[in-house]
Chain A
Amino acid sequence: MDARLANTWRLTLNEKNFIKTALLSEIRIDGRKPFEFRNISINFGREDGSAEVQLGQTRVMGIVTAKFVQPYRDRPNEGTLTIYPEFSPMADPSFEAGRSGESAVELGRIIDRGLRESRAVDTESLCIVAGKLVWAIRIDILILDNGGNLVDAANIAALAALMTFRTPECSLGGEDGQEVIIHPPEMRDPLPLILHHLPIAITFGFFIDENIVVIDPIHNEEAVMAGRMIATVNANGDICAIQKAGEGVSQRVIMQCLQLAITKAADITKQIKAAVEAYNSERALQKIKRETTCVGNSVKGDQNQTLDNKGISELVGKYMERLKLISVESYASQNINAEEIKSLRRGTDSNCIKFNSTPLSWDPYSKGVDLECLKASVASQGLSTASEEKEASGQEKGSEAESACPYEDVNSKWSAVDASTTEMHVIGPKTLKDAVKPKNKRKKKVSSMI
């Protein structure tokens, strides 16, 4: 007992006074201004659904896994989402192994409210057999380094991990149609989760005596501050959750903080999306390089030494299926409305051009459910006309499109990713000859849309 007390970290009185005096002149001890957020860097691990976020000195890892469970009785069509925060003793000398303290429970509850109760994650799409089998998503949040403001960092880690997580595709089959077949990743590409919006948590620290509010406090400031408010907001301006503790603050200050939170949330949302985009396109690029070798095209790209190469050597039909799925996957983070996708799309035109220059100039934007799309998209291999392809494949999806604009077509398709992937297995094995679509056919489609 004494040993434990002796080992806890405490801030000295001098340090406390220094922090408070500096705040009187609106200076924080790490040089930031009161409403400045630290730098966020998001990195992804080797497997799907694993993300590591660094917010200044704070380091948090989020890992998403899924398994089959029976649904709750009162919600037979919905999957479940549970958050397991773990305050690892490596993050802070006062964190104990085993039992997690109340701050771990609080962190878990705040993130849970932001993700589950605000319906950010679509749980109905996690249902496989109503009443019997659903996906249970488990998010493990590992705190690796406590540099202050664990809630915000953990939230970003959870979101980044959710956006890059993929569940294997399942379909009903068997003799009575009740058996669930799980398709391994080599056969069918796994599916992303549907996220309606991204709730971002922003923490504010209140220093009553100095009459100042700071955003994103570091651990020294956390030991000094009198009150704390965590506002979970999204970029659309919705407030998902608010948690306030500590000394009382005036209503005016709270309103100001909420306004500020919404602005900051927009920034952070952009950063998260950019990081996930980069990761997804990197992944798609790797997959493409692997594909080319097995079909025997002349490739210049070096072979990616991932281990499950063996699973790729199948019929050409499956290869084409997969090519389609790659494009689906490369923009699989489309669990967001069409507007946002548009802005994303414009921003990633450079990616499109990048793909053109590779030997297999695979058009990542062409995504098709029916055969025409497939032919059009694979035809782009030989021709570096990605923009044409986009339009062509865009038109083919006309039935699902929300507007006539080709760009919008392509974009809105992606929000229906799940629906489309289930139709993939309809297409039988084809040869590459079928894949090459005569140019005139494509042009016709273009004109028909307009």
Chain B
Amino acid sequence: MEVDREDGRSQNQLRPLACSRNILHRAHGSASWSQGDTKVLAAVYGPKAGTKKNENPEKACIEVIWKPKTGQIGKPEKEYEMILERTLESICILTVNPNTTTSIIVQVVNDDGALLPSAINAACMALVDAGIPMKHLAVAICCCLAKSGYVILDPTKLEEQKMKAFAYLVFPNSVRSVLPEGSLRVEGEPIENGIITSVTHGIMSVADYFYCLERGRAASVKLSDFLRRNLQQQSTDSSKAG
């Protein structure tokens, strides 16, 4: 069914993406990601000595600090920090630098919908810029379910508020490898069919949720391509000490 979105996009169309790496000078890695008007800045410092309290010193530790655009840090910000932490912990190889902490600082520059997925994408790019070892990248997307039952991708803030339910989905990026195909499968399925994180708000039926997943996964392929092109184009800068 044809859906009329305010900015003229189709159901499955994403907003224009823009990403730049290595924008800050003091941070070890930094990236800025914007989807339409939503813009997020991420910086990485690490690995630093020592882990946080109660963390396993045999593994590396990831610390996320979420900075909203204005105002105090409250419960929603803490929740975002936790989700980001768990997502990034699952994609980083934690055994390479044990007993270290990598800090990721996310700064919201402008919020126009799909904030958490943009932050996850920005954090991922910043980690690449810092040279933190990772298994694969994460691509995040937001899918909304409207009252009339159709699903749209990458909503703006106004659209998000009008929706019945929405889901933030994080998938591994599409793999292009020289290794034989068998070694990249997890339990018989290719890695990119997996899902790393899923956060839903609002009520949706199981069928709708799977439909969202399907759409999200298709969009994540496009995002992965964008990431790959972006990373290949930008030449890596020399190391920044101090």
Binding site for B on A (CB under 8 A): 2-3, 6-7, 9, 45-47, 50, 57, 59, 61, 63, 65, 86, 88-93, 97, 138, 140, 142, 144-147, 219, 305, 307, 310
Contact A305 B8 (CB under 8 A): yes
Q: Which of B37, B41, B49, B65 contacts A3 (CB 8 A)?
A: B49
Query: Which B42-59 residues have a C-beta within 8 angstroms of A?
Result: 43, 45, 48-50
Contact A3 B48 (CB under 8 A): yes
B228 → chain A closest CB, angstroms: 26
Q: Which of A2, A6, A63, A90 contacts B43 (CB 8 A)?
A: A90
Binary flags per residue of B106-131, CB closer than 8 Å to A gives 1, else 0? 01011010000000000000000000
Is the C-beta of B143 less than 8 angstroms from some C-beta in chain A? no
Other A-B pairs beyond A88-B67, A91-B26, 20, CB < 8 Å? A3-B48, A3-B101, A6-B50, A45-B109, A45-B110, A47-B110, A57-B26, A61-B109, A88-B107, A90-B27, A90-B67, A90-B105, A92-B26, A93-B48, A140-B70, A144-B24, A144-B41, A147-B25, A305-B7, A307-B156
Is the C-beta of B69 less than 8 angstroms from some C-beta in chain A? yes
Contact A307 B6 (CB under 8 A): yes
Binary flags per residue of B144-184, CB closer than 8 Å to A gives 1, else 0? 00000000000010100000000000000000000000000
A296 → chain B closest CB, angstroms: 19
Q: What total of A-B pairs shows CB separation below 8 Å?
A: 77
**When A7-B48, A9-B242, A65-B70 are in contact, do A46 and B37 touch as well, CB less than 8 Å?**
yes
**7 closest Cβ contacts across the A-B interface?**
A3-B50, A90-B43, A90-B105, A57-B25, A145-B24, A6-B49, A97-B65
Query: Which B1-42 residues have a C-beta within 8 angstroms of A?
Result: 6-8, 24-27, 30, 37, 39, 41
What size tier do the contact residues of chain B reach?
20 to 34
**When A142-B67, A307-B7 are in contact, do A90 and B109 touch as well, CB less than 8 Å?**
no
Q: Which of A86, A93, A138 contacts B67 (CB 8 A)?
A: A86
**When A3-B48, A3-B50, A7-B49 are in contact, do A90 and B25 touch as well, CB less than 8 Å?**
no
**When A46-B110, A90-B105, A90-B107 are in contact, do A145 and B48 touch as well, CB less than 8 Å?**
no
Q: In whole angstroms, how far apart are the Cα atoms of A90 and B103 in the complex? A: 9
Instruction: Return 27 A-B CB contacts under 8 Å, by A number.
Output: A2-B49, A6-B49, A7-B48, A7-B49, A9-B242, A46-B37, A46-B39, A46-B110, A46-B112, A50-B110, A61-B109, A63-B70, A88-B107, A89-B65, A90-B24, A90-B27, A90-B41, A90-B105, A93-B45, A140-B69, A142-B107, A144-B43, A145-B24, A145-B27, A219-B26, A307-B6, A307-B7
Contacts of B8 on A, CB cut-off 8 Å? 305
